[in-house]
Amino acid sequence: MSKKILITGGAGFIGSHVVRLFVNKYPSYHIFNLDALTYAGNLENIKDIAEATNYTFIKGDINDVNFLNTLFDEHKFDGVIHLAAESHVDRSIKNPNIFIETNVIGTANLLSAFKDACQSDFKNKLFYNISTDEVYGSLGKTGLFTEETPYDPQSPYAASKAASDHMVRAFGNTFQLPFIISNCSNNYGANHFPEKLIPLCIHNIKKNKSLPVYGDGQYTRDWLFVEDHANAIDLIFHEGKVGETYNIGGCNEWTNLDLVHLLCELMDEKLDREKGHSAKLITFVKDRAGHDRRYAIDASKLMNELGWRPSVSFEEGLVKTINWYFTNEKWLTNVTSGSYKDYYKNMYH
């Protein structure tokens, strides 16, 4: 069936994998990629599909209401997969307001534009909000986040994503706008901006620079390969139940310190360095304010109801990721020159 689908944030890390998957897998769909190209957006991430006949890139800001209304009126999208966001917790601590603008108000702008363009005829339409497990707050030593876990966001980023989810549900309840929300754990893979832990460490190990581990390094995250997240999004978009929430996670918990040690081992092998060389770069630094201790996802609803499974083990995924950063050295050089240098200095010195 032919469909017009708007994917927002498709020049970013996860969005680029979702856009590529949809453009290649569904030749009868037309995929519109709306992205403001902030520091995190990069057309290099999707250059391989730039010329596809079923693909259009639109540079635009979800905070621009007039632009959005015109766009939705013109195209009457069948579906929206919404990923555009400010996504880095540390930046949300330094500047919360831009997270409120883009993640909360930007999402509300999109919902309104979608609702108005549909003129309340939502037959076969869907608004799919891509969210995070961080909305649930922090876990203790045991337990997992389920779809029923109450929201308890702790960082400005998490609060803005929680508010975005609330806004989507409110439009569902008030205007019968058909929606789905998924909340995913930490992703890793190609195109990941090196402000986040894994690509930052890969970059620094290559350069023999110190590896900043916050606090005691015992904070725990549940890591998922980004292509497995994109596959889950595809499955949920096509087979998920309207009005439902799905948790997505890797069943793959690591403390930050163990993870950085594993990266050091894999990178020493790759770089033909003496065993233990890179681990000497590990440096404990001041903790993140309000740092969530542990995230871990119960993805059994997605697995049991829709049959989703992650496709790669963590070690396979990490090796693929490291190899990608080695074959895409220019990408890394480009994104770490310019404003990244100021960000890094500000953040770590």
Interface residue list for ligand TYD (CB under 6 A): 89, 186, 196-197, 200, 212-214, 219, 221, 256, 288
Residue of 5, 14, 117, 118 that binds ligand NAD (CB under 6 A): 14
Region for residue 238 given its phi and psi (left: phi exceeds 0; alpha: psi -120 to 50; beta: otherwise)? alpha
Is residue 156 within 8 A of residue 96, CB to CB? The reply is: yes
Measured from the CB atom, the residue of 102 and 204 that comes closer to ligand NAD is 102
DSSP H helices, 87-142, are 89-94, 96-99, 106-118
272 belongs to the catalytic site: no
User: What is the nearest approach in angstroms of ligand NAD to the Cβ of residue 125?
Assistant: 20
Tokens standing for residue 275: 């065993």
- The smaller minimum CB distance to ligand NAD, of residues 106 and 240, is found at 106
Site for ligand NAD, residues 116 to 175, rule: CB under 6 A: 130, 132, 161
Among 186, 204, 231, 247, binds ligand NAD (CB under 6 A): 186
For residues 216 and 239, which CB has a smaller minimum distance to ligand TYD in the complex?
A: 216
> Taking the complex as a whole, how short is the minimal distance between the CB of residue 214 and ligand TYD, in angstroms?
4
Angstrom distance (rounded) from CA 149 to CA 279: 37
189: left (phi over 0), alpha (psi -120 to 50) or beta: left
- Which tokens hold the place of 216? 């005691």
Let me know: does 31 contact 56? Beta carbons within 8 Å.
yes
Residue tagged active-site, from 61, 133, 165, 228: 133
Taking the complex as a whole, the smallest distance from the CB of residue 8 to ligand TYD amounts, in Å, to 19
Q: Which of 35, 134, 227, 292 is catalytic?
A: 134
- Complex with ligand NAD: residue 98 or 279, whichever CB lies closer: 98
Residue 274, CA distances (Å) to 42, 137, 268 in order: 35, 40, 7
What is the C-alpha to C-alpha distance for residues 138 and 87, in angstroms, rounded to an integer? 18
Residue positions annotated with a catalytic role? 133-134, 157
Site for ligand NAD, rule CB under 6 A: 8-9, 11-15, 35-38, 40-41, 61-63, 83-87, 102, 106, 130, 132, 161, 184, 186-187, 193
